[in-house]
Amino acid sequence: MTNARRVLIHQDRDTLAGSLAARFITKVVDLLDQQAEVNVVLTGGTVGAAVLSAINASPARDSIDWSRVVIWWGDERWLPRGDAERNDTQSRAALLDHVNLRPENIHWLPAPDDGISLDEAAALYAAELAAAAPEGSDFPRFDVTFLGVGPDGHVASLFPESAGVRVTDATVVAVRNSPKPPPERLSFTLPVINSSDRVWLALAGSDKASALGLALAGASTLEVPAAGVEGRLRTVFFVDRDAAAEVPADLIAVEY
């Protein structure tokens, strides 16, 4: 299959979240008919949480065999476990605490209350990825990776002009001096993000329009990290009408 970037436009954020939730459920059910388990990478942010909440609210939620779903996060804020600003805390409240996931299938990113440094945490999560990887790889085969995109074009915790965007020889990086609080974070690198079969980016709001337009127009990855995102099979931007103001017409998909 040839990968191609496509943009699906929705009326508003709620419609976007519901549509993406339905697609996720359908895709995971299909994949579990073909393979033993599914590796999913979650994201944080308002839209990311809205999508997970929509999955939880769907009548089809339990058509997924959640015991065969493996959960990862593409980035995390370096805050104590249970902090309301941590991505995993938001994911738990929106979905994870409501479905029958196996505890060993949830790969939480480390936290400062684990008694380790930020660099040690990056190395620890990289080792966890490697332990779950097939022979010859440093990370698992990811089936679906969710991403948000910031108004500055950042994805995960890879910010414009930051050192992390340039990293290609590591799977997880320690992020310091983030322009968006908190300053310290952990993040997948772009090679890991782009290893996913499907990367689904969700954006809502007029403040995202410029970043989305630049990413799709081929801006420098260093300046607009979202421009460097490309899943192995599919790269799809799920956006609302406000975020789609600067999308090139030839990239708008009627259906997916």
In the chain, the number of structural domains is 1
Positions of the chain with pLDDT lower than 50, given as ranges: 1-2, 254, 256
Q: Is residue 28 part of a domain?
A: yes
Helix axes 45-57 and 13-32, enclosed angle (nearest 10): 60
Q: Is residue 15 part of a domain?
A: yes
In this prediction, residue 247 carries a pLDDT of 80
Q: Is residue 256 part of a domain?
A: no
User: Is the Cα torsion angle 29, 137, 87, 160 positive or negative in sign?
Assistant: negative
Q: Is residue 16 part of a domain?
A: yes
Q: Is residue 180 part of a domain?
A: yes
In this prediction, residue 246 carries a pLDDT of 81
Provide CB contacts within 8 A for 2, sequence distance 6+.
none
The two tokens of residue 184 are 């310290």
Q: Is residue 228 part of a domain?
A: yes
- What pLDDT digit, counting tens, does each position of 15-40 carry? 999 999 999 999 999 999 999 999 99
Residues 187 and 175: beta-carbon distance below 8 Å: yes
How buried is residue 84: exposed, middle or buried, by Cβ count under 10 Å (0-12/13-18/19+)? exposed
Q: Is residue 206 part of a domain?
A: yes
Domain that holds residue 18: 5-251
Q: Is residue 51 part of a domain?
A: yes
The CATH number of the domain holding residue 110 is 3.40.50.1360
pTM of this prediction? 0.95
Percentage of the residues of the chain whose pLDDT score is greater than 70: 95
The two tokens of residue 29 are 């059910």
In this prediction, residue 1 carries a pLDDT of 38
